[in-house]
Structure 1
Amino acid sequence: MRMDFIRRYVITVLGALVIGWAGCAQAVNTGGFSNTMGGDSYPAKTVSTLAELKSAVAAGSHHIIVRGTIYGGPSLTTLTFASTRNNNTTVEGERGGQAVLENIQLKFDGEKLALGTNVENIKVSNITFYGNISDLQHLPTQVYGTANNAGINYEGVSLRRVTNAYITHCTFYNTSDDLLSVTLSSDYVTLSFNHFYFSRSWAYMSPDPVWNWVGSYTDLAGERLAMVIGANSSDSYVATGALHVTVHHNWFGPYMRGRPLFRGWVHLYSNYFDNHPALSGSRTANDGHRYPLQQYNAIQINSGSVVVSESNYFYHTNNTNNISTDSSGNIYKFYERNNVYNNTTGSSASGSNFGTSPVGYSYTITAASRVPDFVQRNAGPQ
């Protein structure tokens, strides 16, 4: 790693000293752990077709601008950035908010690099990512670990062994796995001003296929999950010292069934969790079984995590703060202050209060009472 791309963070984390590293080609205050502008300073390559987009990725373009809607085909397309030559890369939509990637996943993946080397300095902005419901319904039954797993692995953006990433002003909806993931010891990530949701058409799709994601079958319509930070208890903040992620000014909902799920060191502030109208009851899927429609949690605090939640607004959410570790005895810490819970249902854990902010970066809180209006007006592509 070149020293001119290195910035050292010394962060006091609720009494424990944590030292982390983040590379930066251009420094910027993202209001969070990351500090990169990706490849904004490189010459831009504008693409408007799938062939042009694939070509730009294959050529290692550092600054890609998406114009209009690009369709990834009925079998889905994953574009993978897996080399250090992909460091300092921006993929952004053209100004005006009309850039769309349909059936296309952007996968930033350093897992095949030498140990200790990650893909670095990634920015994705101003793009709408979504899955075509009809295409997903017509895929063969998807089973994890088999040749039929395109839908199992399909998200909008996947960050795997990535250091310093900034995902901002995007919309994610109707993808068949989580909408977004941050895993495999990725570190120093900021997710801001994004909209994560599912459509009513997704929640009530007919036919409703049944797939096997991780060892058990469930219905596609019920796979309405926002994001996961940390893949399992071995891929957590406590286990790796990584997964520092800031989540701020995002809009989660409507029609979200569960998550985000946190196994990282997560600073969650000024987000709007919107579960209105709340779904209830159940529906019958292709296997003849009935599956619940109701939201099972808004946020999930899991193994090896530190979650600091402040000035968020929860509206009609169910089981809002859910503690659900991978196995008994797994440790976690949950802190909160100044959140608003409006018409919430079910059970919800209460976090410990805290005083001085435990993060080492500057950020601007939007008071929770103002969050619904402010976030709805500003989240998503511009």
Structure 2
Amino acid sequence: MKKLSIAFFTFVLMLITTLSIANADGFSNAKGSHQKGIIVKNVQQLNDAIKNKQHHIIVDGTINGGNVPKTYTFADKSWDNLTIEGLKGSNPELVNIQLKVDGELLPANQSINNVVIKNINFYGNINDLQKLNNDQITVGGVGVNYLGVSLRRVNNVIIKNNDFHDIPDDLFSISLSSDKVTVDHNHFWFSNQWLNMNPDPKWNWVGDWHDLASERLPLLIGANKNDSYMATNKLHVTLSNNWFGPNLKGRPLLRGYVHAYNNYFDNSTNPTGENTQGYSQNQYNAMQIGSGSNILSEHNYFYKTNNSQNIGLDNKDDAYKFVTRHNTFRKTTGISAKSNAKNIKIPYKYHLIKSHNLIKTIKKTAGVR
């Protein structure tokens, strides 16, 4: 009887584990830190928490990094099992602050693992950014390299219920062979103050000077075709239940193995004309399929977007696979790409929202809770 009970218990445990995996909502099953959380309320407390290797940091209220964007870098294996989250109900904000989880200097077969970042409002102070100059606004400078969150060779990550807006590089990036990342229920957007900023200074991101107000890009997956799914067999990313917009210029740019579903691509403000520097305000695309990617796009809602699903490769002959199905396009302009493959396999179960409910649901659930 004892042996039977043990065998039965083992079977039940295996069944529960199997169901848990089967019901996962994305490529990541990250749990983050098991440590007791430490609450931080100002930049000094945040400095101390990171210096003391606290692995569960809880942001209470607004923390401002100062007049110049400040980057916190988590760059070695000691930062495995990390959670950074906002305290519910405290309006948690990180202003002029980037969280950079960066395993690029680790041995080739290693990465930083098991990271959760959730429930935080990331944004830049426009007045501070307008005042940056010289080395700060050219290639390699703190301004042009300022994102909300940057993942570089990180494995098993959940980015959930965050708000990203008004940040001069991409709002968020996943690159350098990062893998198994779920980006769920976030809001990516730019304010009218950013769109219409005056003065509108010119910055140099990649050897070319252009104006800050036109830099309205939400998300990058894969730095180039050499850092793509087909080149690395990495960059498995789930983009689900996110709100992209309003006021986005273009992107997300996707070079990974990306499953994009239940996302609301919102160009409801539909910026037109020229800004104070004479540059076009128009959106150039809503979602960009990049070199070396495998993309399944389904049950997304595109509203007033331009070139809703656009093929934008590093070189015109680069390989990619793209499947689009059951998406909704309302009052869109330009073109939207057709599938060039029959199927992209997804190894987990997931829930699709019916199109007539999607906008209301995503507006209610995306962003800080």
- Provide the TM-score with structure 1 as the length reference: 0.89
Which has the larger share of strand? 1
CA distance in 1, matches of 2:146, 2:356: 35
Q: Which of 145, 148, 151 is the equivalent residue of 1:156?
A: 148
The two structures, once aligned, show a CA RMSD in angstroms of 1.6
CA distance in 1, matches of 2:339, 2:245: 23
Alignment of 1:67-216 (within 5 A): 67-96=60-89, 98-141=91-134, 142-146=136-140, 149-216=141-208
**Are 2:241 and 1:241 aligned?**
no
Which has the larger share of helix? 2
Q: Which residue of 2 aligns with 1:296?
A: 284
Structure 2, unmatched stretches of 5+, are 1-19
| C-alpha contact (below 8 Å) 1:337/1:354 kept by paired residues | no
CA distance in 1, matches of 2:312, 2:368: 33
**Are 2:37 and 1:44 aligned?**
yes
CA distance in 2, matches of 1:54, 1:277: 38
TM-superposed deviation, 1:368: 2.4
Q: Which residue of 1 aligns with 2:7?
A: none
CA distance in 2, matches of 1:150, 1:381: 26
Instruction: Using the aligned pairs only, state the percent identity.
Output: 47
Query: Which letter maps to 1:366?
Result: I
TM-superposed deviation, 1:83: 1.3
Query: Which letter maps to 1:131?
Result: G
Query: Which letter maps to 1:174?
Result: D
* CA spacing shift, 1:190–1:30, aligned 2, 3 Å: farther
**Are 2:212 and 1:220 aligned?**
yes
**Are 2:298 and 1:330 aligned?**
no
| C-alpha contact (below 8 Å) 1:63/1:90 kept by paired residues | yes
User: Cα deviation per residue 1:27-86 (whole Å; 9 max; x = unaligned)?
Assistant: 8965110001111x2111110010111111122111110000000001111011111110
Q: Which residue of 2 aligns with 1:340?
A: 328
Structure 1, unmatched stretches of 5+, are 1-25
TM-superposed deviation, 1:284: 3.1
Q: Which residue of 2 aligns with 1:59?
A: 52
* CA spacing shift, 1:128–1:81, aligned 2, 3 Å: same
Q: Which residue of 1 aligns with 2:352?
A: 365
- Provide the TM-score with structure 2 as the length reference: 0.92
Query: Which letter maps to 2:242?
Result: N
Query: Which letter maps to 2:53?
Result: G
Aligned length: 349
Query: Which letter maps to 2:324?
Result: E
CA distance in 2, matches of 1:256, 1:156: 16
| C-alpha contact (below 8 Å) 2:60/2:90 kept by paired residues | no
CA distance in 1, matches of 2:55, 2:258: 28
